[in-house]
Structure 1
């Protein structure tokens, strides 16, 4: 079949686009991925033993708030990149603002801390495992998120893969807050951001293969 014949065939019987297709796909993919990630956390990591006490501390909610802000920003970008012809430029602010606020706050905390406290704030107690734990918890979310994105016909596959990976990582970070004992902003600014970058990088590599439609 020649190209013009294929075009004529497709044009003769166009399939209507389902309304709210993106909302339906992500409305299924994200809760399912979050449940699987939470199950993985409970099975492999467990909740932090002082979660009830920690949950009344402002820094716990600041940590969760950063993860939630990154999740919302990544979802905005991913929704735009999932559909052809959608402008994305303004959506990047949803990711840049939380990062700048975290890094600015972490820099201020380090500036005010004494010299012998700074390294402890950066490394915490779990620096060896934090980023890899977030990446591990993001795996089920990457599966469900990539399924949602692929069904919406993305055209910029590497960029869409990166945003889908970041979305999975942000959701996994939110889940990981239930286990992580770290309460210092400099730690999050380094190790949480590194944990977010791992599924993002995996998404860049996997996007052209897994998001092709």
Structure 2
């Protein structure tokens, strides 16, 4: 059989892939993951009792905006990673920019206070548990993201797994913000960042094992 005949045979009956498949997959997976994170938070942590008063605080919305922007960038990147041959492009810049902004703001906050106050701003009251709480809350959304991505065609499995973990942890940090008592960007720059990077590292390890076709 000639090469052209073989190609024609393999191509017979192939239907075009619906471009909305990715949107449908993640549109179904992410709400389930977020609901799961909210349920875990309600069972183990609870929502801050002063949450209504915080709704008028710009700092509170900044705390939510930090991981939310990372989640949006991670989602855009993971959609591209699910399609063979597509580059993430500026997605890496979009993922990294919120981290840089928060670190710059944190440096400014620490610069303005007395040296003996800096450690308390960095550690807050919950530094021992913050990153691990975000890691726990990241599980439902990370699992849902892996499920959605596995049905696509990722080729860079370790990278795709890392972004799945980051997406899960970023959404977990958004949910955790409803409970977390810490309001200093210096705290977020260390412990929220660590809480988001831990699941990303775990996702990078799991990617080749779970996403392999």
1:161 deviates by 0.4
Aligned to 2:57: 57
Q: Write the mapping of 1:1-213 to structure 2, written as runs, cut at 5 A.
A: 10-213=10-213
In 1, Cα distance between equivalents of 2:42 and 2:6: 51
**Where does structure 1 differ by over 4 angstroms across 4 or more consecutive aligned residues?**
4-9
In 2, Cα distance between equivalents of 1:85 and 1:165: 21
TM-score, with structure 2 as normaliser: 0.94
1:6 deviates by 8.6
In 2, Cα distance between equivalents of 1:5 and 1:208: 34
1:212 deviates by 1.3
Contact 1:76–1:94 (8 Å) recurs in 2: no
In 2, Cα distance between equivalents of 1:52 and 1:5: 68
| Structure 1 residues 132 and 9, CA gap change in structure 2 (3 angstroms) | farther
| Structure 1 residues 6 and 189, CA gap change in structure 2 (3 angstroms) | farther
1:128 deviates by 0.6
RMSD across aligned positions (CA): 1.7
Structure 2 unaligned runs (5+)? none
Match of 1:207, SS?
Answer: helix
Identify which range, 110-119 or 188-197, moves more after superposition: 110-119
Structure 1 unaligned runs (5+)? none
In 2, Cα distance between equivalents of 1:187 and 1:6: 60
